[in-house]
Structure 1
Amino acid sequence: EQVMQIVRDLAGYSYGRSDQVRRAMSKKKADVMEKEKNYFIYGNEEIGVEGCIKRGIPEEVAIKIFDDMTDFAKYAFNKSHAAAYAVVSYQTAYLKCHYPVDFMAALMTSFMEHTGKITEYIMNCRKMGIEILPPDINEGEYRFTPYEGNIRYGLAAIKGVGRPVIDEIVAERKLGGRYRSLKDFCMRLSGKSVNKRTVESFIKSGALDSLPGTRKQKMYSYISIMDGVNQEKKGTLSGQMSLFDFASPEEQKELEVKMPDVGEYEKEEILGLEKEVLGVYISGHPLEEYVATLEKNITRTTADFEVVDGETEPKVKDQERAVIGGMITGRTVKATRTNNMMAFLTVEDLYGTVEVIVFPRDYEKYRTLLEEDAKVFIQGRVTVEEDKPAKLICSGVVPFDAVEKELWIQFLTRADYEEAEQTLFAILGNYDGIENVYIYLSKDRARKLLPKSRCTKVCKELLSELYTKFGEDNVKVTEKSIEKKFRA
């Protein structure tokens, strides 16, 4: 701040330009500092800096002042930052240790509009044993709030739902009690800020899950319910009560609109709708079954490519070699000047998204692997521009299903294995594949590789059967690194 004030007061820098000097000093950019020294002393009309000499400050004095600032910057920025951040680190570590739920709820509230950070914090919460509950009109508040040792998602994080709507929902809930059904919710809030678009967003986010009916049933019926409520309101004089208001709880159930018999959405659809209105997945993630595979093979997550509020650079470094893993959620193919095709990908992992650029040579090589929804590992070189999220220049692609797995099944003795052998073979026979199966005899500390004819396809269904028959502690899947795959 003192450096910024000095260049403003002595050389006529603007606030914005003085901040550029601060950045250059803090990052020790010698080439930029040399230019700024010249501007500071002699000025530059093109950038609107008068310079010290024009303002009556002798040249030798201006040189001495700037050199003193440069020497000061060699130690002042890092030491002052270290001291300040040490205090903040101690305070936040104390709060996170002793009040983890409150701390994480407050942290997520402060980054409510930054979905990349919210996703990262959700993952951290799960590792800490804190469950993230979906937004709920009967339990939630504007902010992320602690709820019975877990965290309730903030209603304000739902896209298209403003503060006035949330305030009305919470106020009506406090006045009239919990919302009992979708019709009750619409009746009590009809004519206020809540409209069809708001209700649709609430359904997609899971905020109406505490009301009877599945999300799919509510999506199929909310328009007719709201239209019916509006008609009923029109037929009721202002200040009078409707038949629904006079009815007992049992009678109200009879007056409720019957939900269509359409069941519930598939898991993938539920997750997609959550992502649409929340920007994150709450009830799961399309990649959650690949967590171990990702952790074993990636060097960076998409969160490392983001520029967080208050920072100017991401965690990744320019020209760094990195491996990411995730799902391709967007793909744009364009022709170059030489009429060769290249691609721009959006790759999503458990934390957010990153842009990946695939130049013609690599696009031609990997194009069949780069379809939307494909789950892939991508190796490449990082490219960083100041104040922008970093990107990855692709140099290699390996699909998730190319990761080599081995299935291990443990028995105490050879006799135990021989007794269960035919049952095991019958189960493996239902899942033909190429993955090796090993038998481990714990008492003898011996292992046996089953013949190629017994190779299998490791999947959730197979593991479920094996867990049921032999116990989860006796079944293990190991994976080989994909590093060699990139060299192939």
Structure 2
Amino acid sequence: MYLNCHSYYSLRYGTLSEVELLNLAIEHKQDCIALTDINNTSAGLNFVRRAKEKNIKPILGIDFRNGNQQCYVSLARNNEGYLELNNFLSKHLHDKTPIADKAPHFKNAYTIYAFERAMELDKITFSENEFIGIGPKDLNRLRFSKYSAYKDKLVLLLPVSFNSKRDFSTHRLLRAIDTNTLLSKLPLEEQGSPDEYMLPPEKVKEVFVEHPYILKNTEVLLKACSIDFDFSPKRPSQNLKTVLGSSYADFKKLKKLCDKGLSERYEELTPTIVERLEKELSLIRKQDFVAFFLINWKIIEYARSKNYFYVGRGSGANSIVAYLLRITDVDPIELDLYFERFMNEYRLNPPDFDIDFSTWDREDVTRFIFEEFGQNGQAALLGSYVTFQHSGAVRELGKVFGIPKHEIDKLSAGNYSLQNLDNLSRLTLKYAAILHEHPNYLSIHAGGILISDRPIHYFSATYLPPKDFPTVQFDMHIAEDVGLFKFDILGQRGLGKIKDAIEIVKTNQPEAKLLDIHNPKPLFKDANINAMIARAECIGCFYVESPAMRMLLKKLGVDNYLLLVAASSIIRPGVAKSGMMREYILRHRNPQRRNEGHPVLQKIMPDTYGIMVYQEDVIKVAHHYAKLNLGEADVLRRGMSGKYRSRKEFKAVKKKFRDNCISAGEPEAIVDEVWRQIESFAGYAFAKGHSASYAVESYQSLYLKCYFPLEYMVATLNNGGGFYRAETYIHEARLNGAKIEAPCINYGFIETSIKGKTIYLGFQHIDSLEQKTMLKIINARVQGLFKSYDDFIERVPLSIEQLDLLIRIDALRSLGKDKRSLLWEAYYKENTIPKNELQQSFFRISMHDYILPKFSVTDLENAFDQLELIGFPLYDPFILLENEPDSKLVTADLKNHLDKVITIYGYLVTLKNTRTSKGDRMFFGTFLDREGQWLDTVHFPPIAKKYPFHGRGIYKLTGKVVTEFDFITLEVIAIQRMAYVPDPRFDATYNRKENSKHPSSFILLDKE
């Protein structure tokens, strides 16, 4: 009898989850209820799934509203009706138009107008599928209305949105947040009614005792509705089933593509290659995944036709078919990738392909996918939910309670004493806890695209976010539950770097011979690249440039592709957290230690010395050690990825794992330790094929860094950098022989550019310089170089504020005047010559050239201007120190001071803030010494607490020099941030002599 139930996916209105609604139905002995969220279908599929589990008949519908004004409630009579409703809602959401006052004629859905709404519309005629909804408060008015004669059209309409007074209070707060108003000023019309809770059936029957026909009509309506989706473990895939019109044609095409790929990828066909291909093709056909591979192939073929750089990764990289179709560049034969991780007869979902493109290429690839596969409404982006988190909820609630901002800041940051809080602050914290993890608004999955065999609206309505592609209203977990498996099309800056670097090399070194970067195998054998990896000289290179990775590369002595593949997964938090990263290093460096491992695990994973490093290792251990079948092992692996850890199927497999091991005579302590290692993966381990894909891209970027370091650093800067700030990459370019020039009006561009070995920073690095200013300069320069200041301002009319920025960064230095003279001239002429851009275009104004005294500008003044305008100096930052360092030690000296306490100076690059197992804060620091070489530090909790960091700058570091696996670290016992000299631009009393020009200059600090 409940036809109008709202979950908390009636965003910023409802308060109950779909599961809580179903539990309420059970509590009230209901065997059928309808979920009708407000202009939203996010909860629909999971509601049906959970209702089946609870033996409740689900009905799906939509509460169509304009704002908080209900237009009508529509219920799907069947799945086709749900499609109709989703089509209707989606059109409204896409077009951003109001819901029509009167519903269209739905062929397979019923529409219910609330009694008052029908009266407002003065609706007289009702089609066969239209009804009038009556609530308890409508009964008295019904007696005297024209609708009393419409007995066969009257049904119960009892909205359900809350289950307690607290829920209603939460609802009011949500409405205040949604309307951005104080709770005390929230209009009644923006709120639901306090009686929107589930009345006991006995009470309903008592209230409607004189109107039994209303109850009967409602029951008839409920019986007429039925909706079903298949969530069974063996449910068929709902993805597009065929690309070429038939399964036969699809498989024939796939086989032809593989045959072509064999000749392109392998010089010699071995029995291993042929057997692996036959095995994969047979299983792909049996599991009905042929179309999945062809769709990915089509996407890749389009990208290749446009010369887009991409990387295919994920578990699909374990597949030789994917390798032959060029979806990935990972050879599974070469790496002996575990076939069962890719696919096995128990696996119901297709393998996962994550395909990365550069950010701008990705948009066009997405457009292609929608044009190629979405013509009949079968494609959509995958949605996700942004939920209320503590800090955000506190801020939103604080505003609607009217709490001052500074008080909200304290509550949000946790800087308060509970006993000293006033009532409103306590309420804010109370309701922030209630709202925690409740959905706040819809967003988009990072890169998931659905391509369905049926129209996507069969499953959900879609909305149109700023990306302008239809997006479903549910997330990836619900999608997989119903058999919709996403295609991941992701954006990645690293690919933009590679693509741009190649183009820059072609321009700057047209005679250079570039290897085919899409054929990475020669790169794996390049001695220069491998030596560079072993030295951890990987700044700017994909996935191998961070301080933690630099440390691991040195500790492992990585000098080949296979070891880099392992390192790419070992660095992940799951392996590191379990202590197995350290154990791997120990076993790698000391073969004798490998004998200490569990013999069964050693046999299962010989290539990783019996240590679980990759996701498929979980499958191997579960299958061979715990004797689970491959289907159960994959459930375990998926649970470890964090997706289904709480589901009953995972819990059952977890129990079976332990029971099987104990039954086989394994000691409990060993079983518990193996399980601890598995559990520590916690969603952080990579599939080996995924790690191999990362390593391929690492080698591609390492190749460019090794042979074309300057061009590669320019490409890195123009693609937003990487792990570090721009100054680090400029420093790296200088170490490789570059001459770094500040932005220049005659030779620079908007982006950073290179000519020979000279790198001109782009105008985009100048803080507050407007894009229109940059474009004016570039467009005017087409007519020729600027010859004088007057020539420049005549051709590029600018405000004095924009001119000031350009002059102070010395962008006009090619005009032959120092910047102090230029500033004097600019401000004088700004105040004396009238500005008229149109007039200046036609008439040259005669300007008197004044004789000025000779000015000098020191390096310090330039450095402070650079600090202000681009965020870092183009000089050695150590010239900024007020006092000379009292230690001349540099990183190269540390090997001579092992286990000794020393003092050294370092320029802070980046800081990793972490916590110990006890929850204490500690830091790992990365600095540059006076020679511009790396210096690594560790700050244990007592030191981290006693000596906090105070922003960027140069620090005096005192500590003990230690080494582990030949990697030297300074265990800090004291730090002091060193003072800079007073800014000479504002300190007239400072008479320090001009420093000699420093050709080196570093720069850094990772992005915050």
User: Could you tell me the TM-score, scaled by structure 1's length?
Assistant: 0.50
| Larger-gyration structure (1/2) | 2
TM-score, L = length of structure 2: 0.26
